[in-house]
Amino acid sequence: MTATLASVSTEIAADASTSARPAVLSRAQASLPGGRRATVIGAGSFGTAIAVLLARAGVRTTLQTRTEQQAAELAESRINEKYLPGVELPSQLRIEPVSSGVSRADYVFLAVPSTSLAEAIAALENAGLGRRSAVVSLSKGLVPPDGAAPTTALRARFGAHRVACIGGPAHAQEMVHAGAGLVAAAFDEGLAEGLAAIFNRAGVVCELANDPVGVELAGVAKNAAALAAGATEAQGLNAAGAAAGHIFAEAWRLAEAAGARPESFIGLAGAGDLVATALAPMSRNRRAGELLAQGVPAAEIQQTVSQAVEALQSVPLLAHSIERAGLPAPVTGGLARLIDGELPLAEWVALVRATVPPRARWRRSRGFWQRLRERLTRWRRDAPPEL
């Protein structure tokens, strides 16, 4: 992962030059609702909600399911009762199995778990993906085995100028009824603007960001923090808050090492998404933490929750990535061992309560003689020639 982090930092700097490249879709195209096609791969709660928003925005949208049977059921009922109950699918939203391909899509949204992203990338290349089509990750996890951010894996295959991700507080049910606070992050400014324009047209506030890796790591951190808080809440709110705070800080140090921007963790994609997840009555990641605290093995939690719990897979990857980068990760590492059944709950809580964050880096005040030398240097530099 050290090599991965180094390459990410280099690519972030290099990608500053991509603004000179033509956007995947021009801004003129972005303003024409009927001029684009989008395919959403994955008909879970978030994928279905995104497909609904895209259709409402006037984008010709296709929602692709894993199987032909699932596609037929959704096309007939026009409601995804299992994952997004009570939300009628727009009549203009096309439903088909993933085997239908993506040859006509301008935007391809990947609403698949991060653990399946490598498989999805390989499938895209055989599904007729256009050379100018944008690929947008909706995942809030990490890609095994190295714990790479999804856009890092996508960028390696498709190029930075075609890759983006969506973050922010976006509970699926609320998003389709009352809106959300999304973040569209891309290396290419035109691509980010095009995505934001689509979601704004659908009635959803969408922030622009030029820090995809930071936005993704913020999403990973909020899921891990929610799970940590859920696993600790019964032991006290202070312990739960400390667990979430330690996780967030440890993940941020990894993001900082990768060249991410602090506002990605402070704003909608990080703190905003964490609050939404922590307050959600049926938050999957917080519920998973509560079940861990009750002694339910991680392998059984997925079936109990009935939906993907990204943090169960991403926390061990996150801990490994932080440690491989040479950074301290005592609480994230402890949470990974709790998930794996290697750390008893009592020891996990004791670890949270006893962990002291790394020492702050103090700013040393400048002495009198140093300030005087600096003033003399400035005076000589700015003095008129005749002096």
Q: Are 289 and 229 in contact (CB under 8 A)?
A: yes
Contacts of 380 (CB under 8 A, 6+ apart): none
Q: Which residues is 62 bridged to in the sheet?
A: 39, 94
> Can you name the residues that pair with 137 across neighbouring β-strands?
110, 165
Measure CA 15 to chain center.
Answer: 19
What lies within 8 Å, CB to CB, of 256 at 6+ separation is 262
* Active-site annotation, residues: 222
Give the CA angle between residues 14, 15, 16 to the nearest 5°.
Answer: 90
> How far is Cα 151 from Cα 167, in angstroms, rounded to an integer?
12
Structure tokens at 153: 């894996």
Task: Give the number of other CB atoms < 10 A from CB of residue 295.
Answer: 9
Q: Which residues pair with 79 in a beta bridge?
A: 88
Is residue 148 classed exposed, middle or buried when 0-12, 13-18 and 19+ CB atoms within 10 A define those classes?
buried
- Cα separation, 230 vs 352, in Å, equals 13
- Residue 108 · residue 73 · CB < 8 Å: no
Phi, psi of 136 (to 5 degrees): -120, 120
In the structure encoding, which two tokens stand for residue 229, read together?
């808080």
